[in-house]
Amino acid sequence: MNRCRAAPALSAVAVAGAFHLGPSVVSLGQWTPLRAVPWCRWRGPAVPLVAITFDDGPSPDTTPLVLDRLDELGLTATFFCLGAEVHHHVELVRELVDRGHQVETHGHDHDHHFARGPRWVARDLDRSLAALASAGVSPRWFRPPYGQTTGGTLLAARRRHLAAVLWSSWGREWAAPDAAAVAARVVGSLSPGAIVLLHDTDILNPPGSTRRVVEALGPIAEALDARHLRAVRLDELVAP
């Protein structure tokens, strides 16, 4: 092999790899004190507000349970919806909005961006935006599935005027033994400006996961009151 030709080829591969996987380091932001970088956010400003967010829905089996509990507790939230679910439950998306909550995009198919190229990511995001448009929603935020953020993820979001957002606190309810464990995990990382990740469906989680979330919302609300924090929509916490 001609070494002069091999070197540029290897360089091109290295550049492509860096573009694809380099931005993935943003997933580490939840374990740092950083609030945001120009291309991604984990926390809002250090104000006495918190954004509670839900991923993967909507689901007619579990999302209404979450909505009713939020109403009982006087909490507002932000729902990152999958386009694939929105297609089947447009009226439920409209109900989310009518009940005072914010709806944003979680992509269309809940797939790993690390295993997908930029074209697939762009098409997936376009499909999710079309689904939400049918419900009268124009997203401003994008949370990639699994928090996997590649170069293609960020480029697709930027070109569609969407800001990427991850989280600083999460319940990991799919792995929790009970609601108390979910609440303890969230409360342990609650602070001014926190962005909390939970799920409003068991579509991608073990059965009973969302039930644990519903039961954990009460202790979470109590912790918010004790710390003089108020749960608000993401757009009330921070502008994209």
Please name which of 170, 172, 220 lies closest in space to residue 195, comparing C-alpha atoms: 170
Count the alpha carbons within 13 Å of 7 in the hemisphere toward its beta carbon: 3
- SS3 of 89, please? coil
CB atoms within 10 A of CB 219: 16
The catalytic residue positions are 55, 199
- Rounded to whole angstroms, the Cα distance separating 88 from 100 reads 21
- Rounded to whole angstroms, the Cα distance separating 195 from 81 reads 16
Helices (H), 160-208: 179-187
